[in-house]
Structure 1
Amino acid sequence: MSDVINNREHRQKVLKELIMELHNGKSVEEVKERFGELIVGVSAAEISQMEQNLIMEGMPVTEVQRLCDVHAAVFKGSIEEIHREVAPEEREGHPMHTFKFENREIEKLINEKIRPDIEAFKNADSKNNILKLISDLNLLWDIDKHYSRKENLLFPYLEKYGVSAPPKVMWGVDDEIRAGIKDAKIALTGYTGSVDETVQKLEDVINKINEMIFKEENILFPMALETLTEDEWFTIADES
C-alpha cells in the first residue's frame, strides 16, 4: 500500500513539475515524452484526481490547462481521449453526452459570435454593436439550464457518495457566472460610454465560463462517470 501511495505522490510531483516547465516556456514537444511515461498504466480517474489536487492546492486552472496540448500530443487526439469512459458518454441521450454537447455549443457561441461582436464593439461602440452583444448575452443565458441540471440532478448523486467539495465550489462559481452575465447585460443596456469597463465585464464572464467548462470536463465529469451507477444515469436522463 505504501508503494502505491508513494507512486501516486511521485506522479503528482512530476505533474506539477511538467506544468511549471510549460509555464516557464518549454514546448509541448519537450515535455510530452515525460508526460507519456508518467501516465502509463494510470487510470483516467487518477489523472483527473491529480489535476483536481493541483487546483485545490491553489494552482490556477489556466496553468493546469497547459496540459491539454500535451494530452493531445501524447494521444494524437483530444483531451477527451484520456478523460472518458468511452461507451457511456458517447451514446446520444446519455446525460454526459448532453452535458458535453452543450459545452461545445457554448464554446461555439463564444468563439464564433460573442468574441467577434466584442471586437466590433471595441472598434465602434455603436447602438447596433451594443444591441448585438445584448442579443448574444440573451443566447448565453441558456447556460443557466445547463448549470441548473448539473446542480439539481448530478450534484445530489455525488453528494450521496460523499463527493461534496467540488459540487459546492462549482455551484458557487455557476452563480458568479450567472451574476456576471446579468451584470454585463446591465452595463450594455445602460451603456454610459465606457468601452474598456464594459469589455472587461464581458471578458471576465467569458473567462469564468471557459474555466468552468474545463473543470467540468476534467474534474467533475470523470469523477461522476467513476461514481454513479448505470441506473442513476438513467434516472438523470429521465429527469432532464
Structure 2
Amino acid sequence: MSEAINNRVYRQRVLKELITDLHQGSSVEEVKNRFAALIEGVSASEIAEMEQALILEGMPVEEVQRLCDVHASVFKGSIEEIHAPRPREENPAHPIYTFKLENRELEKLLNEHILPHLEELKTADSVAKRKELAADFTLLGEIDKHYSRKENLLFPYMEKHKITAPPQVMWGVDDEIRILIKETRKLLADVPENAATVIEKASQAATRLKEMIFKEENILFPMASDSLTDPEWMKIAQASPEIGYCLIDPPMPEAASTSAHADHEPEFREETSQTTYVHFDAGLLLPEEINAMLNTLPIDITFVDKNNTVKYFTQGKERIFARPKTIIGRLVENCHPPASVHIVQKIVEDLKSGKKDHEDFWLNMGNQYVYIRYFAVRNAQGEYLGTMEVSQDIRPIQEISGEKRLMADA
C-alpha cells in the first residue's frame, strides 16, 4: 500500500513539473515522452484524479489545461484499450450515442467541406471561395449546442460523482474553440482581410476541433460512462431537447421519455402541499399560483442561495438564456466557463458582503438588447439570503414612444 501511495505522490510531482515546463514554453513533443512514461499502466480516471488534486492544491485550471494536447498525443492508439465500448452507449436513445453522432457529422463537415475549401483558398483567393468557407463556419457554429449540452447537462452529474477537474479543463478548451470559430467568421466577413490570416485561423479551429472530438470520445465519455447511473443518463436525455442538437435531427423520442426511474425534479426538492398557502408580507398565494405568476413575467429570474447553490429559475415562454434543470443544486461557479468564474465570484462576493446591493450589465445578442441585473436578496434583518439574477430584452421597451392610456377598441 505504501508503495502505491509513494508512486502516486511521485507521479503527482512529475505531472506538476510537466505542466510547469509547458507553461515555460516547452512543446507537446518535448514533454509527451515523459508523460507517456509517467502514466504507463495508469488508467485515464487516475490521471484525471491527479489533475484534480493539482487544482485542489491551488494550481489554476488554465495551467492544467495545457496538458490536454499532451493527453491526445499520448493516448492515441492506447486509450481505446483502456475503455472498451459499452453496450448501453450503442442505444440511439443514449446521450453518448447522440454526442458521438454529432461528432461524426462534425468530422464530415471538416473533411468534406472545410478542409477542401481551405486548400482551394490556398491555391487561389476569391470572394466565391470565401463565401463557401463562411457558409461552412456558419454551420460549424452549431457546435455551441454540442458543447452547451456537455457543459450544462453532463458536467453537473460528473461533479456529483466528485469528478470536477476534467470538466473545468475541457470547458476552457471548448471556449477556446468557440473563440476560434467566431474569429474565423469575422475574418471571412471582412473581404479585404489577407487570405493567409484567414487560412491560419480557420486551420487552427479545425485542428482544435478534431483534437476535442478525440478527447471527448477517448477520455471524457468513458470516464462519464464509468461513473453515471442509468437514471442520470435518462435525466440528461430528457433535458437535452431544450438546448438542442448539432447538425443532426433530434434523437429517438425514447430518449426523452419519462420513467419511474427518472424523476426530473431536483434531488433535494422540498415537498410542499399544493393545498397549503404561502404567506407573504402583503397577501397569500397557492404554490401553483406563485409558479404560474413567476413564469408569466416577461423576464428571466434565477436565484442562488447564500451557499452559492442554484435553487430556482423561472421558465417563461420567451427565455433569453437556456437553463436546463440540471443546474438546480449546482454551485453557481460551476455553471460558468472557467474564464468568467472570477467575475461571477466577485459579483456574489460584493453582494454578499454588502459592498453592493446590485450589479448591472447590458449587451447586444442578435436582435435583442439584454439587460442583466444581479440583486442581493436580504431578509427584514438585513441578513444575506442569496443573489437574484434578472435578465430582460429591453429593446421593445426602448422603442416605446408617445402614450397609451387606455386599451384600444377591438
Q: Which residue is 1:66 aligned to?
A: 73
Partner AA of 1:219 in structure 2: I
> Partners of 1:206 and 1:170 in 2: how far apart?
17
For 2:236, the aligned partner's letter is I
C-alpha distance in structure 1 between counterparts of 2:219 and 2:76, whole Å = 17
Per-residue deviation, 1:70? 3.8
Which one-letter code corresponds to 2:190 in the other structure? Answer: G
Provide the C-alpha distance between the structure 1 equivalents of 2:53 and 2:122, rounded to a whole number of angstroms. 39
Partner of 2:188: 188
Comparing 230-239 with 3-12, which one deviates more in the overlay?
A: 3-12
Q: 1:4 to 1:103 in 2, by over 3 A?
A: same
Question: Quick check: 1:48–1:83 contact (8 Å CA) kept in 2?
Answer: no
Higher strand share: 2
**Pairwise mapping of residues 161-180 of structure 1 onto structure 2 (< 5 A)?**
161-180=161-180
Is 2:180–2:201's contact at 8 Å kept on the other side of the alignment?
A: yes
Could you tell me which residue of structure 2 aligns to residue 106 of structure 1? Answer: 106
Who is 1:147 aligned against?
Answer: 147
Deviation, 1:51, is 9.4
Aligned residues: 219
Which residue pairs with 2:119 in the alignment? 119
Instruction: Give the AA of the match of 2:232.
Output: E
How far the C-alpha of 1:136 sits from its partner, in A, is: 0.4
Aligned sequence identity (%)? 49
Counterpart code for 1:198: V
Q: Report the aligned-residue RMSD.
A: 3.5
Indicate the SS of the match to 1:4.
helix
Shift of 1:9: 7.0
Counterpart CA distance in 2 for 1:23 and 1:176 is: 21
Measured against aligned partners, the alpha-carbon deviations of 1:182-218 in whole angstroms (never above 9, x if no partner) come to 2111111112140111111111222221222232223
In structure 2, distance between residues paired with 1:190 and 1:129: 13
Tell me the residue number matched to 2:209: 209
Change (3 A) 1:51 1:172: closer
Contact 2:187 2:193 survives alignment (8 Å): no
Structure number with the higher helix fraction is 1
CA contact (8 A) 1:52 1:219 kept: no
- Cα distance change on mapping 1:52 and 1:127 into 2, 3 Å: farther
Cα distance in 2 for residues equivalent to 1:186 and 1:57: 30
Alignment TM-score, normalising by the size of structure 2: 0.46
Q: Deviations over 1:124-171 (max 9, x none)?
A: 111110011011001111111111111111111112223222222222
Structure 1 residue 96, shift from structure 2 partner? 1.0
| Secondary structure of 2:152's aligned partner | helix
2:51/2:165 contact within 8 Å kept? no
Larger Rg: 2
Q: Which residue of 2 aligns with 1:220?
A: 220
Once residues 135 and 118 of structure 2 are traced to their aligned partners in structure 1, the CA distance between those partners, rounded to angstroms, is 12
Q: Could you say which residue in structure 2 is the equivalent of 1:135?
A: 135
Q: TM-score, normalised by structure 1?
A: 0.74
Paired letter, 2:163: V
**Alpha-carbon displacement from aligned partner over 1:58-109 (angstroms, at most 9, x marks no partner):** 76544433335542xxxxxxx5453245222222221111112212221221
Q: In structure 2, do the counterparts of structure 1 residues 163 and 84 end up closer, same or farther at CA, with 3 Å as the change threshold?
A: same
Q: 2:325 aligns to what?
A: none
- In the TM superposition, what whole-angstrom CA distance separates every residue of 1:20-57 from its partner, at most 9, and x where no partner exists? xx958xxxxxxxxx9xxx54xx6564477689999976
After superposing the two structures, state which structure 1 stretch, 163-172 or 115-124, moved more: 163-172
In the alignment, the residues of structure 2 paired with residue 132 and residue 155 of structure 1 have an alpha-carbon distance, to the nearest angstrom, of: 35
Where does residue 238 of structure 1 map in the other structure? 238
* Cα distance in 1 between the residues matched to 2:224 and 2:214: 15
Describe the shift of the 1:175–1:58 C-alpha distance in structure 2 as closer, same or farther (beyond 3 A).
closer
Is residue 96 of structure 2 the alignment partner of residue 89 of structure 1?
Answer: no
Greater alpha carbon shift after TM alignment, 138-147 vs 62-71: 62-71
1:184 alignment partner, SS class: helix
